[in-house]
């Protein structure tokens, strides 16, 4: 039996175990998926130990995505993002690192038949999720504007992303009315009735993905829906980052419906 898992601290709240287990069961893959919660100072020993024990693959969550990036051989996209959320342990050679949050963003739009290539995209946030979203959307052909509370962080990210522009949250007033895609990659919205984007900027030509997945229906998504926009819950990004990890580990097409159903049930 292959052993997979998720490394985080805390990790007890993670919904990845039921989602990935449903994927393995549906594909009749003999594997188990468990949680690991090392102390923050122990992450290097944890990754070495996982390799030595023959663990097949790991997801990585808060607070270890940057630490693990330093401990593995990152693929080119993860190297640009500077963070790793998925590790594969090949039979020989160093652990391989990937950032599947990026595919989580693009596959969420694809799944909802929203085109990215040639579109104007606004990413709110320049932390880990914002970096993944900005690189993913630019690589898929979008013109990206990054708006962040700390403007220097947006500017620094924009200097790394092809053709991207940057500003503070006040730049949303200019950028959102002409945009086709909007991603909230801040944590704003987890608190009841907060939103990073003023409702009056939202419009019906917009497709809005909120990375926040608790609550499932954020104020941003409610207001986007009221404005006639297409809305995509953070559940989809969470699903597709897991789907991408499953496919990296197993080389099999992930059973999207089974994993979606398990994730939805776990989040309920």
Does 188 sit near ligand NAP (CB under 6 A)?
Answer: yes
- Nearest by Cα to 141 from 109, 167, 97, 169: 109
- The full DSSP string for 95-137 is PEEE-THHHHHHHHHHHTT---TT-EEEEE--SHHHHHHHHHH
Q: Is residue 205 flagged as an active site residue?
A: no
CB 92 within 8 A of CB 38: no
Angle at 175 between CA 140 and CA 132, to 5 degrees: 35
Query: Which residue, among 10, 4, 71, has the nearest Cα to 39 in the 3D structure?
Result: 10
Query: Which of 17, 97, 125, 255 touches ligand NAP (CB under 6 A)?
Result: 125
Q: In the set 213, 220, 231, 248, which binds ligand NAP (CB under 6 A)? A: 213
Residue choice 27, 79, 127, 156 for contact with ligand NAP (CB under 6 A):
127
- Compute the distance between CA of residue 82 and CA of residue 135 in angstroms, rounded to an integer: 11
Interaction residues for ligand NAP, span 82-101 (CB under 6 A): 101
Q: Which two tokens stand for residue 99?
A: 């950032």
Of residues 36-55, which lie at the interface with ligand NAP (CB under 6 A)?
none
Of 2-10, 31-39, 113-121, 182-190, the segment contacting ligand NAP by CB under 6 A is: 182-190
- Answer yes or no whether residue 167 interacts with ligand NAP by CB under 6 A: no
To ligand NAP, the closest distance from the beta carbon of 210 in angstroms equals 8
Rule CB under 6 A: which residues touch ligand NAP? Answer: 101, 104, 125-130, 148-150, 153, 185-188, 190, 196, 211-213, 234, 237-238, 241
């Amino acid at each position: 039996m292959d052993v997979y898992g998720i490394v985080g601290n805390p990790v007890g709240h993670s919904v990845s175990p039921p989602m990935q287990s449903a994927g393995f069961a549906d594909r009749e893959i003999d594997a188990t998926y468990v949680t690991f919660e090392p102390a923050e100072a122990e992450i290097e020993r944890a990754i070495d130990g996982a390799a030595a024990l023959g663990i097949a693959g790991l997801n990585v969550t808060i607070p270890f995505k940057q630490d693990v990036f330093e401990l593995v051989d990152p693929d080119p996209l993860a190297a640009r993002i500077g963070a790793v959320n998925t590790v594969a342990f090949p039979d020989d050679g160093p652990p391989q690192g990937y950032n599947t949050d990026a595919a989580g963003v693009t596959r969420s739009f694809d799944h909802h038949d929203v085109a990215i290539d040639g579109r104007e995209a606004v990413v709110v946030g320049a932390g880990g999720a914002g970096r993944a979203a900005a690189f993913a959307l630019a690589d898929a052909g979008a013109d990206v504007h990054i708006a962040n509370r700390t403007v220097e962080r947006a500017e620094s990210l924009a200097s790394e992303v092809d053709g991207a522009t940057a500003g503070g949250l006040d730049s949303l007033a200019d950028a959102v009315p002409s945009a086709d895609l909007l991603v909230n990659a801040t944590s704003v919205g987890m608190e009841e009735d907060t939103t990073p984007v003023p409702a009056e900027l939202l419009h019906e030509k917009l497709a809005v993905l909120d990375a926040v997945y608790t609550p499932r229906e954020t104020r941003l998504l409610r207001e986007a829906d009221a404005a006639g926009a297409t809305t995509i819950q953070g559940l989809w990004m969470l699903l597709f980052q897991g789907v991408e990890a499953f496919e990296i580990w197993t080389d099999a097409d992930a059973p999207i419906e089974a994993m979606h159903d398990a994730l939805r049930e776990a989040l309920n």
